[in-house]
Amino acid sequence: SISDGPGVSPARTAALRAEAEALYLGTRPKTRAAAEAAAHLLDGVPMHWMVDWSTPVPLVIAEASGARLIDVDGHGYDDFCLGDTASLFGHGPAPVARALARQASAGLATMLPSPDAGRVGDLLSERFGLPYWQIATTATDANRFALRAARAATGRPRILVFDGAYHGAVDETFVEIGPDGRAANRPALMGEPRDLSKLTRVVPFNDLDALEAALADRTVACVITEPVMTNCAMVLPQPGFHEGLREITRRHGSLLLIDETHTLSTGPGGYSRAYGLEPDMFVAGKAVAGGIPAAVWGMTEDVAERFRTARINRPDGHSGMGTTLSGSPLQLAALRANLEEVATEPAYAQMNRLADRMEAGLAQVLADARLPWHVARCGARVEVVRAPFPLTDGRQAKGAHYPALEATTHLALLVRGVLISPFHDMMLASPATTEAQVERLIEATAQVVGRLCD
């Protein structure tokens, strides 16, 4: 059955879904053949999330450049998903492509620093404001290593996450507040026999009283959070939340890890720089090196010093941090090119201008249709939120999530040549995005909303 949310007709949703599916399959013979030819991939895809898109068979992309995709059947798409942020600066930005080509003939993986290493450290420090950095290969890994370093530095066992947050496939973060109000492993988590709530505390975002209570026994090494929750629709911090979060974590001796993997959409120094946050540790991945697998984690002088001290007395052997391909010459070349030449102030100014128009245009579409929804925004990241008011925490975000309606909307947009992110209603503006593309997004959304409403 289809759950539709307020203002939307179930019969219309079902009809639109059927029509979009027929159109998708009927005009994509090569896409269908590609699905049949992928018999030796589990579920026919190289990574199982790819079956979670709205399409009846996976969309197979032959070419991605700028903010455009072309599928194997030759259909073009205006791409507002941008690899779920990995390609926030457009697909294959030219300076990154040139740096990768150069580095390909000078060594890809040596497990030694290249001459770019020192410069990359300087760029990260200037941009994000923390003095010491390490390179990882995914944001997942960067978060795992930063959490481990936080425990080592503080000598404390626990971490704290906010309900509804996502920080990558980081085992210990998959804890939520269950229906009975108690912390528990997330129900969808597979292959996890441990009760993760033993070492992970969880409180609602924007709830400083709950945070205070959860940190008071001084066993929490680290609070990990996005500055804006972007993985359960979009939950913005309420006025005073970040000031309170910083004050309470400091007072109880818990480190504050800000994960800016998605909120790099805010500006060149992320949300932290734009809003004056003072994290002890900082993580960014996905787009930070222009779309190749690379992530960064940084720390204050104080954390670095405590971490070094903790390392002095340990025996030789595995630290549980680092991977063979991390800090590679390839990553360093891409990081340098992306930070120096792509993720620049003018690029962000352009992204924000486009996102202004997306926000206004989409809000107008919702208002014209009298839908009780709104548009939330974090720099170049724009989200249609299926609730009349700003969300305050993960529980509210769950209540504003209508999977069947969202999938129908996504597929109906896709057959109109517009791609938005698969798991909720997120759209990104890249420096390569054109004004014409933004107008097409708004127009396609108006068409789809028109079909859904009575």
Could you tell me the smallest distance in angstroms from the CB atom of residue 54 to ligand PMP?
18
**Selected binder of ligand PMP within 237, 279, 285, 298 (CB under 6 A):** 285
Could you tell me the smallest distance in angstroms from the CB atom of residue 137 to ligand PMP?
9
Could you tell me the smallest distance in angstroms from the CB atom of residue 421 to ligand PMP?
10
The CA distance from 380 to 14, in Å, is 32
Stretch that binds ligand PMP, among 10-18, 133-141, 183-191, 245-253 (CB under 6 A): 133-141
The CA distance from 408 to 400, in Å, is 16
- 140 contributes a contact to ligand PMP by CB under 6 A: yes
* Residue 258 or 375 with smaller CB distance to ligand PMP: 258
- 410 contributes a contact to ligand PMP by CB under 6 A: no
Q: Which phi and psi (to 5°) does residue 132 adopt?
A: -125, 140
Stretch that binds ligand PMP, among 29-37, 132-140, 179-187, 363-371 (CB under 6 A): 132-140
**Selected binder of ligand PMP within 78, 163, 259, 393 (CB under 6 A):** 259
Residue recorded with tokens 């504003």: 400
Could you tell me the smallest distance in angstroms from the CB atom of residue 288 to ligand PMP?
10
What residues pair up with 76 in beta bridges, in sequence order?
70
- 168 contributes a contact to ligand PMP by CB under 6 A: yes
Could you tell me the smallest distance in angstroms from the CB atom of residue 141 to ligand PMP?
7
- 167 contributes a contact to ligand PMP by CB under 6 A: yes
- 28 contributes a contact to ligand PMP by CB under 6 A: no
Q: What is the DSSP string of 23-56?
A: HHHHT-HHHHHHHHH-TTSGGGSSSGGGGSSSSS
- 300 contributes a contact to ligand PMP by CB under 6 A: no
- 139 contributes a contact to ligand PMP by CB under 6 A: yes
Sign of CA dihedral 349, 355, 361, 364: negative
Contacts of 33 (CB under 8 A, 6+ apart): none
* Residue 24 or 53 with smaller CB distance to ligand PMP: 53
What Cα–Cα distance (Å) separates residue 162 from each residue in 9, 200, 219, 379, 415? 34, 10, 17, 22, 36
Stretch that binds ligand PMP, among 122-130, 257-265, 378-386, 427-435 (CB under 6 A): 257-265
* Residue 286 or 416 with smaller CB distance to ligand PMP: 286
The strand pair at 61-65 and 68-71 is best described as: antiparallel
**Selected binder of ligand PMP within 54, 55, 114, 231 (CB under 6 A):** 231
Stretch that binds ligand PMP, among 62-70, 111-119, 138-146, 147-155 (CB under 6 A): 138-146
- 226 contributes a contact to ligand PMP by CB under 6 A: yes
- 205 contributes a contact to ligand PMP by CB under 6 A: no
- 176 contributes a contact to ligand PMP by CB under 6 A: no
Contact 200, 351 (CB under 8 A): no
The CA distance from 88 to 100, in Å, is 18
Chain position whose Cβ is nearest to ligand PMP = 168
**Selected binder of ligand PMP within 53, 145, 166, 348 (CB under 6 A):** 166
How many CA atoms, within 13 angstroms, populate the side-chain half-sphere of residue 93? 31
- 262 contributes a contact to ligand PMP by CB under 6 A: yes
The CA distance from 231 to 219, in Å, is 27
- 138 contributes a contact to ligand PMP by CB under 6 A: yes
- 383 contributes a contact to ligand PMP by CB under 6 A: no
Q: Quote the distance between the C-alpha of residue 187 and its chain's center.
A: 21
The CA distance from 106 to 101, in Å, is 9
- 172 contributes a contact to ligand PMP by CB under 6 A: no
Stretch that binds ligand PMP, among 114-122, 127-135, 183-191, 258-266 (CB under 6 A): 258-266
The CA distance from 273 to 297, in Å, is 15
* Residue 20 or 384 with smaller CB distance to ligand PMP: 384
Contacts of 428 (CB under 8 A, 6+ apart): 80, 81, 82, 85, 88, 265, 380, 381, 382, 421
**Selected binder of ligand PMP within 91, 286, 381, 401 (CB under 6 A):** 286
Identity of the amino acid at 251: R
Site size with ligand PMP, rule: CB under 6 A: 14
- 255 contributes a contact to ligand PMP by CB under 6 A: no
The CA distance from 277 to 226, in Å, is 12
**Among 356, 414, 406, CA closest to 384:** 406
Contact 113, 134 (CB under 8 A): no
Contact 408, 17 (CB under 8 A): yes
Stretch that binds ligand PMP, among 88-96, 135-143, 267-275, 350-358 (CB under 6 A): 135-143
Residues that bind ligand PMP (CB under 6 A): 138-140, 143, 166-168, 226, 231, 259, 261-262, 285-286
